[in-house]
Amino acid sequence: MKHYGYEDLAVLVSERGHYSLKKAADVLGIGRDSLIPIKTDNNNRVVVSEMKAKLDELKAKNIKPFAIIGVAGTTETGTIDPLSELADLAHAYGCHFHVDAAWGGATLMSKKYRHLLNGIERADSVTIDAHKQLYVPMGAGMVIFKNPELMTSIEHHAEYILRKGSKDLGSHTLEGSRSGMAMLLYASLNIISRQGYEMLINNSIEKAQYFAGLIEAHPEFELVTHPELCLLTYRYVPARTQQALTLATADERETLLAALDDLTQFIQKRQRESGKSFVSRTRITPERWDRRLTTVFRVVLANPLTTENILQEVLAEQVEIAKQSFISSPQIRTLTNRILTRHNIA
């Protein structure tokens, strides 16, 4: 860095960026701290003005931001950053523009929804995982470069394999020997085809919209993030507790929210163990709860066999499991009652 007259290097990405980016920063030797997280808005999209401000701040410190990463489908909430605006920014500041479309990339197969990824065509490189919405088994990640020559900077050769001119993937990837996963992708693209993927993707997105509606209509649930793709997050909050939260003191609210985190974790673990259905969980910082780290259910609606009926049952099961909690549920109930009683609500 010093050699080129810079104090340091940096990569900018939304605070919802995937954890693997930290691995990449470690591998590049710039360290995790040089992967700079930029604030997201209440829709979990990166705030472009914040990114611009950070770019100016880095410039003032003589730190080179060599790449900007746009996220097209965050892992936790399935949100898509404003890619066109990020492309403008990357162009203006002379940064490599990478789009992490590991999750959302397959949406390009849908004529109906591909517009969600507008701006991705301006990326210098794009990640798409075939093992997500392209329905190929685990371990089929891809990186696509606008200029394939960029890869030569990390090329390796060997005498017994990867000879110059050889097409082995091992010459420009970390892995050497590997299984012929590309065959599965090739087969899927030919068998499922563009139309098939369009159907799968549209179906997933619309099922997520249906599930979001179900959650919003249910008095005992709170939709935490609306689905843009087929991901959403939510949690179970008893109706009376929702009311109590609006009337609670700061201390009471914190106690209630902490107990709700415990309850969400309890329900998620118990539901997974019961073996009938599985939702994952994560922790995010919703605007609504003052960016407090909040445990939520995370649902990915990728299985075409998931019916609306199954989704209704998932919620019903969660309500039942909540009743089995002998620690957080009673704690929530007692505090809820105390707050509502104070406000003369039965």
Q: Toward a copy of itself, which CB reaches closer, 127 or 336?
A: 127
Residues 269-298, interacting with a copy of itself (CB under 8 A): 280-284, 298
**Min dist. Cβ of residue 331 to a copy of itself (A):** 23
Taking CB under 8 A as the binding criterion, the range among 19-27, 64-72, 116-124, 243-251 that sits at the site for a copy of itself is 19-27
Sign of the torsion angle spanned by Cα atoms 142, 144, 148, 154: negative
CA distances in angstroms from 249 to 292, 337, 339, 343, listed in the order given: 16, 14, 9, 12
Q: Toward a copy of itself, which CB reaches closer, 92 or 169?
A: 169
Classify residue 195 by burial, with Cβ atoms within 10 Å: 0-12, 13-18, 19+.
Answer: exposed
Residues 131-170, interacting with a copy of itself (CB under 8 A): 131, 137-139, 141, 154, 156-162
Q: Toward a copy of itself, which CB reaches closer, 243 or 277?
A: 277
Sequence letter at residue 94: G
Contact between 324 and a copy of itself by CB under 8 A: the answer reads: no
Dihedral pair phi/psi, residue 119, rounded to 5°: 105, -20
**Min dist. Cβ of residue 24 to a copy of itself (A):** 9
Classify residue 143 by burial, with Cβ atoms within 10 Å: 0-12, 13-18, 19+.
Answer: middle
**Min dist. Cβ of residue 283 to a copy of itself (A):** 4
Residue 46 DSSP one-character state: B
CB atoms within 10 A of CB 183: 10
Q: Toward a copy of itself, which CB reaches closer, 8 or 206?
A: 8
Any idea which residue has 């990390």 for tokens? 154
Yes or no: say if 335 and 259 are a contact pair by the CB < 8 Å rule.
yes
**Min dist. Cβ of residue 177 to a copy of itself (A):** 5
If DSSP codes are grouped into helix, strand and coil, which group holds residue 275? coil
Contact between 338 and a copy of itself by CB under 8 A: the answer reads: no
Residues 171-190, interacting with a copy of itself (CB under 8 A): 174-180
Contact between 217 and a copy of itself by CB under 8 A: the answer reads: no
Yes or no: say if 94 and 109 are a contact pair by the CB < 8 Å rule.
no
**Min dist. Cβ of residue 158 to a copy of itself (A):** 4
CA distance 78 to 82: 13
Residues 114-133, interacting with a copy of itself (CB under 8 A): 129, 131
CA distance 61 to 57: 6
Residues 29-68, interacting with a copy of itself (CB under 8 A): 29
Q: Toward a copy of itself, which CB reaches closer, 140 or 205?
A: 140
Contact between 98 and a copy of itself by CB under 8 A: the answer reads: no
**Min dist. Cβ of residue 342 to a copy of itself (A):** 35
Size of the site for a copy of itself (CB under 8 A): 38
Question: How many residues are listed for the chain in this entry?
Answer: 346
Helices (H), 61-169: 83-93
Q: Toward a copy of itself, which CB reaches closer, 285 or 306?
A: 285
Contact between 26 and a copy of itself by CB under 8 A: the answer reads: yes
CB atoms within 10 A of CB 99: 30
Task: Give the DSSP H/E element, type plus range, for residue 181.
Answer: helix 181-191
**Min dist. Cβ of residue 175 to a copy of itself (A):** 8
Q: Taking the chain, what is the end-to-end CA distance rounded to the nearest angstrom?
A: 66
If DSSP codes are grouped into helix, strand and coil, which group holds residue 59? helix
Q: Where on the chain is the footprint of a copy of itself (CB under 8 A)?
A: 18-20, 22-23, 26-29, 75-76, 129, 131, 137-139, 141, 154, 156-162, 174-180, 280-284, 298
